[in-house]
Structure 1
Amino acid sequence: MNTIESLQWRYAVKKFDKNKTLSAQQIETLKEAFNLTPTSYGLQPIKLAVIQNKAIQEELVLHSMNQPQVLEASHLLVICIPKIYDNMEVENYFDLVQEVRQTPDEIINPFKEFLTNQLANKTQEELTIWNKNQAYIALGNLLTVCAIEKIDACPMEGFIPEKYDEVLKLNKQNLTSVLVIPVGFRAEDDYMKDLKKVRKNIDDSIIDIK
């Protein structure tokens, strides 16, 4: 399939095949794709929890508006952001830049100072909103990669982050959950599987400016 055919193929799966499991290579592809997601200034203020544990998945169904996909899916992906975001993130980023690119201090320092000031002038609430925006970029990237790789997915906002954080012990890592993505393979009897995709006409969603 080409890219558009793959995007036509994907949909938000309502029922997964409980007997099918993603391969180690497929999961590795999703991990790498997540890590390659573009983020503001390249800071990557996001993490991905990859869960393949039916006991934990079953517990999380209760905190996911009882959506069965959380348990049925091969794996459960949870995109997280820091609860508290501070300048240490900038320090760590530029340490990595120097390690990877051997960029001299005289080139790095002006940009490093700029970012440090940017963060210092934002409230924690503003930083949380900013970081959540990065999580949604990662979600879009993962859904596209899933479509291309023929991995089924169902993006979810309908869950209780505080309960997820508790079950997954994210609080201990200064993290909070933002988005949930069950991934696996669609069930043959998923009522959504063969329905036509409903989208506006291209002319109603695209503005061509020449």
Structure 2
Amino acid sequence: MELIKNLKWRYAAKKYSDQLVSEDKIDQIIEAVNLTASSCGIQPYRLYVITNPEARQKLGEGSFNEQIYTSSHLLVFAGFNKITNEYIKAYVDMMEQQRNLETGALKMLQDTLIGYFSPQTTEQNVIWSDKQAYIGLGTALIAAAELKVDATPMEGFDPKLFDDILDLPEKGLHASVIMSLGYRDADNDYLASAQKVRLPIDEFSIKIK
């Protein structure tokens, strides 16, 4: 299985070279994230792809993760602050159009989603959208490995700084998690040649028959 080989190859790169990732590969990673699973299928986060050097330098201020500004690209997974009725209606409308259904064919789904999300607090919505964003993060890591692009998932950043610089609150969003993309600097990254360490499969997984 080629996927297993690629996952054995990948690691969280600490040092990046100056080589840039082609836009074709970046677009493939973006499409993979767009195709990934999300609860109820409503994609409650947005993906920011940042290459601007000045913006990335500002985003990396105070962080121990220099990969924020030394990599080729930076991905910011920005979760929704609120799952609004308007968003649900618009998304269900899009579902009906893409599936060539009559208007109102998915009203039961729409009403169910509105009934579920309407009573929830902003905090509950934020936690839920963050969980969905992490599913997207996992897919991005796998897609990058398939393309032999190095990646570093990161929580070591200042969410408020990201929110302010990217004007996320004005868009009803917040920074959930980030990931850099690029190519490893094998000569200067101490982890590049290190053995991948994982638990033995029979200790990690439990099969109940």
TM-score (norm 2): 0.95
Q: How do residues 4-43 of structure 1 correspond to structure 2 at under 5 angstroms?
A: 4-17=4-17, 19-43=18-42
Partner of 2:196: 197
Report the residue type matching 1:133 in the other structure: K
TM-score (norm 1): 0.94
- Which deviations, in whole Å up to 9, do the C-alpha atoms of 1:176-207 show, x marking residues without a partner? 11111011000022110000011000000111
Report the residue type matching 2:164 in the other structure: E
Quick one: distance in 2 between partners of 1:209 and 1:84?
38
- Which deviations, in whole Å up to 9, do the C-alpha atoms of 1:135-184 show, x marking residues without a partner? 11001111011111101000001111111111122223221111110110
Aligned identity (percent) is 36
Tell me which of 73, 85, 110 is aligned to 2:108.
Answer: 110
Quick one: distance in 2 between partners of 1:30 and 1:174?
24
Partner of 2:122: 124
**In 2 relative to 1, CA 50–106 (structure 1 residues): closer, same or farther, beyond 3 Å?**
closer
Partner of 1:99: 97
SS of corresponding position for 1:180: strand
**Matched residue pairs, number?**
208
Tell me which of 146, 161, 171 is aligned to 1:163.
Answer: 161
Partner of 1:207: 206
Question: Is the contact made by 2:72 and 2:180 (CA closer than 8 Å) also made in structure 1?
Answer: yes
CA RMSD of aligned residues (A): 1.4
Report the residue type matching 2:73 in the other structure: H
CA deviation after TM superposition for structure 1 residue 31, in Å: 1.2
Stretches of structure 1 that go unaligned for 5 or more consecutive residues are none
Report the residue type matching 2:172 in the other structure: N
Quick one: distance in 2 between partners of 1:185 and 1:6?
14
CA deviation after TM superposition for structure 1 residue 56, in Å: 1.1
Report the residue type matching 2:30 in the other structure: K
Quick one: distance in 1 between partners of 2:23 and 2:121?
40
Stretches of structure 2 that go unaligned for 5 or more consecutive residues are none
SS of corresponding position for 1:169: coil
- Which deviations, in whole Å up to 9, do the C-alpha atoms of 1:32-88 show, x marking residues without a partner? 11111110111010100000111111111114x232111110000000012233111
